[in-house]
Amino acid sequence: MHALFRPDAFAGQRVLVTGGSRGIGRAIALAFARLGAEVAFCYRSDQGAAEALLREAAAEGLRVQGYQADVADPAAVQRLVAEVQGALGPIDVLVNNAGFFPSATVLEMTAAEWDAVLRTNLYAVFYCSQAVLPGMIAAGGGAIINIASVAGQRGSARHAHYAAAKGGVLAFTRSLAREAIAYNIRVNAVSPGRIATELLINEENAQEYARWMADTPARRLGTVDEVADAVLFLASPASAYIVGETIAVNGGLLMD
């Protein structure tokens, strides 16, 4: 895993991963820490998962810190970034990963559900990016990587709120990239297809699994490490001339 990188590829880098206690964010946090970075992650409510990650990281001798913070709340984001920068110093890499994926048709959806999905999946990307930018500008550069979704590229029945948010993340990525490159800050996105995490593999989605396998050209779900690898690439000097781009990690879903 991560064989493309030297073991100290991210030594001296400070990385903040939102929603890092489980799933894709957890893999991203561990991947950066295993390559020498100092990593802070936040989570919303599952303290047990956060503590499990901290135990695993400590057992490997990795430098990982966990913070409870709801990224849908702009005041909580301000506190989070201030705490992380107080503990680690300016953040070099921000990975906007926190997200959730409820199901409802547009006919069923309440305004409150729409609002909640947009807040965590889209507004938080703005809150967190804005909060880290002054530190990155003062430090002379940085990288912001936003986790979007194939739903934001092609839409998704029963997930219009989520797809709208993720489509917004892609447009925000390209827009902020145009502004931030003037400060040597590269902003890019990774757009996963179907990745095996609790977000997807749960009771609500159980009837969808067979269809997902059938219409994914790779005929399998992706792994969290396959998404993490794309994030590492976008945070590394190997992608120094890649700005405002989206890397799809989706087993070929958008080929046709």
110 contact partners, CB below 8 Å, separation of at least 6: none
Query: How many residues interact with ligand NDP (rule CB under 6 A)?
Result: 31
Could you tell me the end-to-end alpha-carbon distance of the chain, in angstroms, rounded to an integer? 29
What does the DSSP 8-state code read for residue 245? -
Per annotation, catalytic residue among 67, 162, 183, 241 = 162
Binding residue (CB under 6 A) for ligand NDP from 13, 14, 22, 129: 22
* Residue 149 vs 173, nearer CB to ligand NDP: 149
Report the alpha-carbon distance of residue 131 to residue 147 in Å, rounded.
Answer: 17
Does residue 172 interact with ligand NDP by CB under 6 A? no
Both tokens of 80, joined, read 């989070």
**Is 162 tagged catalytic?**
yes
CA distance linking residue 17 with residue 206, whole number of Å: 28
Query: Mask of contacts with ligand NDP, 45-74, x by CB under 6 A?
Result: xx--x--------------------xxx--
Q: Is 29 in the site for ligand NDP (CB under 6 A)?
A: no
Shortest Å distance, C-beta 73 to ligand NDP: 8
From candidates 15, 25, 168, 246, binder to ligand NDP by CB under 6 A = 25
Residue 84 and residue 91: Cα distance in Å, rounded?
8
Q: Which residues contact 213 (CB under 8 A, 6 or more apart)?
A: 219, 220, 221
Q: Which residues are catalytic?
A: 162
Q: Which residues bind ligand NDP (CB under 6 A)?
A: 18-19, 21-25, 42-46, 49, 70-72, 97-101, 120, 147, 149, 192, 194-195, 197-200
